[in-house]
Chains A and B, each alone.
Chain A
Amino acid sequence: MKISFSSLLCFILLSSAGAFAEPLKVGFVYLSPAQDAGWTYAHEKARLYVEKELGDKIQTTFIENVNEGSDAERVIHKLASSGYSLIFTTSFGFMNPTFKVAQRFKNIKFEHATGYKTASNMGVYNARPYQGRYLTGLIAGKMTRTNVVGYIATFPIPEVIRGINAFTKGLKETNPDAVVKVVWISSWYDPAKERVAAETLILQGADILSTHADSPTTVQTAEAKGVYAFGYHSDMSKYGKHAQLTAVVHNWGQLYLNEVKSVLNNTWKPENLWYGLKEGVTQLSAFNKAVPKEVQDLVNTRKEQIIKGEKRVFDGPVYNQAGELVVKKDNTISDSDLLTMNWYIQGIEGTLPGH
């Protein structure tokens, strides 16, 4: 009996040692195609970065264009049941499907982007692109001639509203007379609608455009019409060499590398990460040479202040659209209030859909 038990133990040890020699399998679930720009592309770039850094210690795959309805759970389940030990799901709509699969596969680690649900084997992570938005707002305020700046928005959720507000905050800081006009396109990715929205905003006098949508269409349209624009998600300068002043980009590479390494070292634990300029997850791409030196200096100063924690984007005074003082001087907006933000600050034209 004793012999057979120890041989069994031997067998388990050997087979688990064999399992350790296998590369760690890491899966990624994408909402849209991993093209050459945009939200999903930023994740795809990070996947390739992690693969390059860790070589044959890991093996990765991705499934793209996954519908957020009933398909998502199957795709995540399929990865979990095919030996993938760490699974990144990179869109908000994957939250409940990820949570459901995480309940079933307790020994597999899940990382979900932009949501709020966690579990013993499910962490969440997000970026703070609104910090970059604020910096681009500073540039827009200095560079607009018409004092009208256009913003192409997707859906009125806190993430998007936060971006518009932060942009407006920066704009007002450098140019109190400028206003932001917003067009809602009710889509994350629709080049045709993005183009129409950009053209509409230009017709309404906007000479600088900012966008939350996924494609480089806004930058392309700005280039064609001879106005400026800010890229988003990834550097879009190749779509508008003259038009793109800078882009607010996500750099998930280091975050993903850390997560994968912690699984390799058995130190992974579920966390709620919200990383921004300080951690390098939110960044600005290189400035266009059209951005004057003193504007670049101002942006870099503000960026350093945010990184050092001397300044936050929504430091008071902040007024809402009705002109009421919402955040007093020397106060700021807490992270939990930022996460549920559903009101406009002063300086934005029009009303928030559904309000």
Chain B
Amino acid sequence: MLRLEARRHDSTLMALVSPLIATALTLVAGSILFSLLGHSPGRALYTFFIAPLSDLYGWTELGVKVAPLMLCAAGLNMCYQAKVWNIGAEGQLVIGALAGGYVGLMFPDTQTHWMLVPVLGFGILGGMAWAGLAAWLKTRFNTNEILTTIMMNYIALYGLLYAVHGPLKDPNGYNFPESAQFSEFVTLPVLFPDYRINISILFGLFALAASWIVLNRTLPGFQMRVLGQDQSAAAFAGFNQNRIVWSVMLVSGGLAGLAGICEVAGSIGQLVPQISPGYGYTAIIVVFLGRMSPIGIFFASILLGITYLGGEMVQMNFNLPKSITGLFQGMLLFFLLASDILIHYRILPANRASRVHS
């Protein structure tokens, strides 16, 4: 049999090769899966990965899909670098959408695009406030932020439901739970006419770039990483732990809030009960899939975005249920994360003595 042995140093070769191994395994397993279902594996895999990007509309929709993922993941990555386990991006996104959307709905007669500034501003502030609550609970009462942020996700969702069923319901909407549609002055400018992609993708890319600079080139970023790697070392160095917790939570909350207001003021155009198909949770996968680096997060969000678009294409062209495309996405993620083990470990036959040198 085989056994695993820890490498003394992470293998740089494997860091490059493991994604290729994962891709190969996914293609093999996907081929088997689609053949068993009676479909041509080549066509199915083409539909999954290539067809979504075969026209400009596909590319722009990829941008629509990854913008909120990038915004949420950029913030979550900072939290996770400092080992602050913020699971609440989903709720922060919803509150951001609600706060910014509220401002947009309060001034329906505004005739200037400057209205977007307070709308986006309140979106960011809403997300920051929601994350700030969890930061306060953690720094003041030492509560576990995993629990508080998860619970606050539900509260945020019910807050949104209350708003669209109650005070923010469209008065001319036959009592359906939706707000009125935003005026064109509260709608994010699109990058190309006739396509939905808007400036939120620029926010997402900017957030990733900025988070890279902060983490790698600034003192606060260094402090975050030290706190994450060794809490007592951070204390010895005199870093203010509470201030770091507050910073990462506020930044990630603000970015998630921005993602939320960009969804409703962008491609959706009104407040609805379902703003996010779980972007805040998917962003957690994106962070770890991207190996907690902003560059990795960029590629991971694109990969996940493609699998979502590809899943829709496969459903449409092959009449396959959503569960099959979900299964395939799950396999892809599993192989990617599982192959990472080769970076830190080597595989040896069980009976062979381990080598002293790595």
- Which residues of A sit under 8 angstroms from B319, Cβ to Cβ? 61-62
Q: B165 contacts A353, CB within 8 Å?
A: yes
* CB-contacts of B163-196 with A (<8 A): 165-166, 174-178, 181, 194, 196
Least CB distance, A83 to chain B, in whole angstroms: 11
Question: When the two chains form the complex, which single residue of B61, B177, B263, B312 contacts A69, counting CB atoms closer than 8 Å?
Answer: B263
Q: B165 contacts A61, CB within 8 Å?
A: no
Question: When the two chains form the complex, which single residue of B161, B269, B272 contacts A68, counting CB atoms closer than 8 Å?
Answer: B272
Q: A157 contacts B175, CB within 8 Å?
A: yes
The verdict on B242 contacting chain A, using a C-beta distance below 8 Å, is no
Give per-residue flags for A244-255: 1 if the beta carbon is below 8 A from chain B beta carbons, else 0. Answer: 000000000000
Give per-residue flags for B272-298: 1 if the beta carbon is below 8 A from chain A beta carbons, else 0. Answer: 111111000000000000000000000
Interface residues on A, range: 35 or more
A79, B57: Cα distance in complex, Å: 13
Q: B272 contacts A116, CB within 8 Å?
A: no
- Which residues of A sit under 8 angstroms from B161, Cβ to Cβ? 155, 186
- Which residues of A sit under 8 angstroms from B267, Cβ to Cβ? 70, 73
A327, B181: Cα distance in complex, Å: 34
A74, B60: Cα distance in complex, Å: 10
- Which residues of B sit under 8 angstroms from A263, Cβ to Cβ? none
Question: When the two chains form the complex, which single residue of A34, A69, A342, A353 contacts B272, counting CB atoms closer than 8 Å?
Answer: A69
Give per-residue flags for B246-276: 1 if the beta carbon is below 8 A from chain A beta carbons, else 0. Answer: 0000000000000000010011111011111
Q: B274 contacts A96, CB within 8 Å?
A: no
Q: A92 contacts B165, CB within 8 Å?
A: no
Given known contacts A27-B316, A96-B269, is B177 in contact with A157 (CB within 8 Å)? yes
- Which residues of B sit under 8 angstroms from A63, Cβ to Cβ? 312, 315-316
Given known contacts A33-B321, A73-B196, A96-B181, is B175 in contact with A158 (CB within 8 Å)? yes
Given known contacts A74-B61, A186-B158, is B175 in contact with A155 (CB within 8 Å)? no
Q: B312 contacts A354, CB within 8 Å?
A: no
How many CB-defined contacts (below 8 Å) exist between A and B?
89
Given known contacts A92-B176, A339-B174, is B268 in contact with A70 (CB within 8 Å)? yes
Q: B274 contacts A65, CB within 8 Å?
A: no
The verdict on B322 contacting chain A, using a C-beta distance below 8 Å, is yes
Least CB distance, A232 to chain B, in whole angstroms: 20
The verdict on B313 contacting chain A, using a C-beta distance below 8 Å, is yes
The verdict on A67 contacting chain B, using a C-beta distance below 8 Å, is yes
Q: A93 contacts B316, CB within 8 Å?
A: no
Q: B317 contacts A61, CB within 8 Å?
A: yes
- Which residues of A sit under 8 angstroms from B178, Cβ to Cβ? 93, 96
- Which residues of A sit under 8 angstroms from B162, Cβ to Cβ? 354
Q: B322 contacts A93, CB within 8 Å?
A: no
Q: A69 contacts B174, CB within 8 Å?
A: no
Q: B322 contacts A33, CB within 8 Å?
A: yes
Q: B275 contacts A69, CB within 8 Å?
A: yes
* CB-contacts of A302-355 with B (<8 A): 339-342, 353-354
The verdict on A82 contacting chain B, using a C-beta distance below 8 Å, is yes
The verdict on A77 contacting chain B, using a C-beta distance below 8 Å, is yes
Q: A158 contacts B165, CB within 8 Å?
A: no
* CB-contacts of A44-86 with B (<8 A): 61-65, 67-71, 73-75, 77-79, 81-82
* CB-contacts of A140-186 with B (<8 A): 155-158, 186
The verdict on B124 contacting chain A, using a C-beta distance below 8 Å, is no
A79, B315: Cα distance in complex, Å: 11
B-binding residues in A (CB < 8 A): 27, 33-34, 61-65, 67-71, 73-75, 77-79, 81-82, 92-93, 96, 104, 115-116, 155-158, 186, 339-342, 353-354
Additional pairs, 12, CB under 8 Å, beyond known A73-B196, A78-B316, A157-B177: A34-B321, A62-B319, A64-B322, A65-B322, A69-B263, A69-B274, A69-B275, A71-B312, A78-B313, A96-B269, A115-B176, A158-B174
